Structures are given as C-alpha cells and as structure tokens.
Homo-oligomer: A and B are copies of this chain.
Amino acid sequence: MLVQGQNREDVRQHNLSIVLRMLHLRGSVSRSELTAVTGLNRSTISDLVSELEELKLAHETDGAVASGVGRPSHMVSAVENVVAISVHTEFDATTVGVVSLSGKVLSKKRLLSSGKPTPENSVKLAAKEIARLRSEMKSDVRIAGVGIAVPGQVRVSDGVVRLAPHLGWVEVPLGPMMSQATGLPVFLDNDASLGCMAERNFGSARELSDVVFLYAGSGGIGGGAIVDGHQLRGAAGYAGELGHVRISAGNAKDYSGLSGTLESLVRRDDLLDIFKFDSAADEELDAEIGSTKSAKAIKLLNEQIDALGLGLSNFVNIFNPQVVVLAGFLTSLFRFDEERLINRMREGALGAAHERVVIRSAELGSDLLMFGAAELPFGDLISRPSNAKLTTPKGKGAK
C-alpha cells in the first residue's frame, strides 16, 4: 500500500504544484482563475504565486485582463528561461530540442545518423548537440533535465531500455549513460506514451481524463493511454503496447514477431509498396492516399481501416475513453474515410462505451515528441517546485 500520510509540507508542495502545473499547461492564467479552479483563498494564491516568483518559476505579466466589472486580475505566467531538453532516438536520426516551462518548443534539430545506431553513438550524438545548445544559452537559463522518447519498452524505474526492436537494443542503460555524458538528470519513457501525454497536455485531448492514443510510424504502431487523468504505465512501465494487441488469426507478423496484431495488419510499408515509394515523409504519403484512384490501393486502405477500426473498438471496450487520438499515418487513414473507420469502431464496441467517444487527429505534428519528452523533467520539477533541482547551462546546480 502506497498510502502516505500528509503533513504541512506536503500540502504546500501540493498547492505549489497545482498552481505551477496550471501555468505550465496554459502558459498564463489570471490569479482569479487560479483561486476559482483550486478552490483556495485569494490570499493563499497570492502567497503561492509569490513563492513561485521567488523560485523564479513564474512571473506576473503586466497585461492585466479585465473580464467585466471589477478590478482586473493579474496574469501569471510560467517563465520561459526554465527549459527541458527533449531527445527522440530513432532508427535513422536523433532529434534534440529545447522546450520551455511555458510550453513552447524553442528549438529542434534532427541529427541524421547512418546505419543502425549503437546506444553509444546515439548518446554521443545527442550529448554533443546538448553541449552545443548549452553553450549558446543565456546564463540565466536553468535546465530541468533531459527527457528521452524511446521507440521501445522502457523500464522507468532505472532508465533501462528493455527492448527496442527497431533499434536493435536490448537491456540498454540509456538513462545512466546519458546522465553520465551530460551531467544532467535524465528521464525516459516509451515514445507513444509520451506522445499521448503531449496530446493530452497541449494537443487535441487537452483537459481530458480518459484518452487512447495510437501512433504509427515507420517503426510500427505504438500506443498510450490516459486513465482517469493519469498516464497508463503498468507495474514496470511497459503498459500501453496497443500495437501488439492480437485481433486476428492471420500469419503476418509485426516487428516484434507477433502475428495477427494490429501492427502487422496496419503497415506503413505496405502502403509505400503499393504506391511504389521507397520511402516517403508522412506528408507525401498523405497526399498520395488522399488523391489515389487505384483500386488496389483503395482495397488495401479499406483493409487497414477495417483492422484499425477493430482495434479501436477493443480499446473503447477496455478503456471507455472520451477521445481516441490518432497520429502518424493513421491520420491519413482516418481522413481517407472517416465514416468507415468510425463505423468499424462502433460495430465492435459495446453500445454504452462508444456512445460519446470521438476520433481526432493529433495536433502537435512534428513537435509531438519534443513536448512529450519534455514532460518528464517538467513533471519532476512540477511535483516538487521548492526542491527542484535545476542546472545552469554551464553545469552548476542552481536553485
């Protein structure tokens, strides 16, 4: 039982947390709104905001907002000079970006690598870019940490990549390695789980408590879910492998060697083949899907939509979400025939669960995993604002 008692310090931390989280999610909020949402007293909010200002995590913006009669309320914002560094490791590239606590992607750079990336090379590549970024930062910037989105199963407890089939990694202690190379606190998680969190915090599932998220790229289908406001993690952090759910007795295998799974039935490569692409960006593929007249292609698209719809119906039965968010080329499938996908989903789902569920495309595009990975260090920061461990660009710890 993880039932911890609460003392006064915990209360203060909790209240600071919820204020800071709100600033983080919405960028800036008026004080009166803070009192309304939190249910705390005006004077308490005032005190909390002051403390966050002293911690240099928030500041009052001049632009007061008049919402009708009465004295206008001050706007409070998260600062822009507290940042997280996001890393996304992929088969052929590593992307490194900087995200501000106020919820903006400040920079993003995709570093191409050739051949299968070894963990060592990936870390070296990312660490070098991080060092460069830090050398260019102003001295008043403070870094909350590094968040890494990994296309595979991550043991969150010790930062070990348990298995990343597409990268060919097994039991790689990526967290400790990156921490060693950068001197920064490092957090990692599965890419799709982080994508889910990003869409919930900043994208098309904002403010929702129950979300199912599916992301399909060249490496297969990943999934994530928000359950009652919390990210689905499971006992060891491996939960949410929605692409590896078996929905058919077929023999086609997915990237993990399982047959009949959603991932084996909804394959980007199959679409590339039929359009005779060697490789293509999502935008090209999307354009082709939107304009194709080929009967063969339409047949394949319909088959994929049917399989996806079946998978979604299962997830709806299991999670009863408010919204299903699709990302990657799944959005192209959805746009190709929205009605078909929705119908397939409804056919397989029990009445009550699907009644209100809607399907949406992801909003965050190529920033998705920059936002997502940044949520890991920011989450740590937000959960204990007054004990946060921040680092200056030059490497000194800063309070």
Q: Please, what's the 1-or-0 string for A295-326, where 1 marks a CB less than 8 Å from any CB in chain B?
A: 00000000000000010011001111110000
Q: Is A287 an interface residue (CB 8 A)?
A: no
A281 contacts the other chain (CB 8 A): no
Residue of B at shortest CB range from A41?
A: B7
B317→A245 contact, CB < 8 A: yes
Q: How many copies does the complex hold?
A: 2
Docked-complex contact B246 and A5, CB < 8 angstroms: no
Q: Interface SS of chain A: helix, strand, loop or mixed?
A: loop
A6-B15, A244-B317 known; A350+B258 contact, CB < 8 A: yes
Query: Any chain B CB within 8 A of the CB of A4?
Result: yes
Q: Which of A8, A15, A249, A318: most chain B CB closer than 10 A?
A: A318
Instruction: Answer whether residue A353 sits at the interface, using C-beta atoms and an 8 A cutoff.
Output: yes
Closest to A234 in B: B320
- Which residues of the other chain, B, contact A310 by a CB distance below 8 angstroms? 246
Choose among B37, B163, B236 the residue that contacts A356 (Cβ–Cβ < 8 A): B236
Say yes or no: is A52 at the interface (Cβ < 8 Å to chain B).
no
0/1 string, A220-258, CB within 8 A of B gives 1: 000000011110111111111110111111000000101
Among A110-127, those with CB < 8 Å from B are: none
Q: List 9 A-B contacts (CB under 8 A).
A: A2-B209, A3-B21, A3-B38, A5-B44, A6-B6, A227-B230, A235-B357, A249-B249, A256-B350
Please give 6 more A-B residue pairs, beta carbons under 8 A apart, in addition to A6-B11, A228-B232. A4-B38, A11-B11, A163-B350, A210-B234, A236-B353, A239-B353
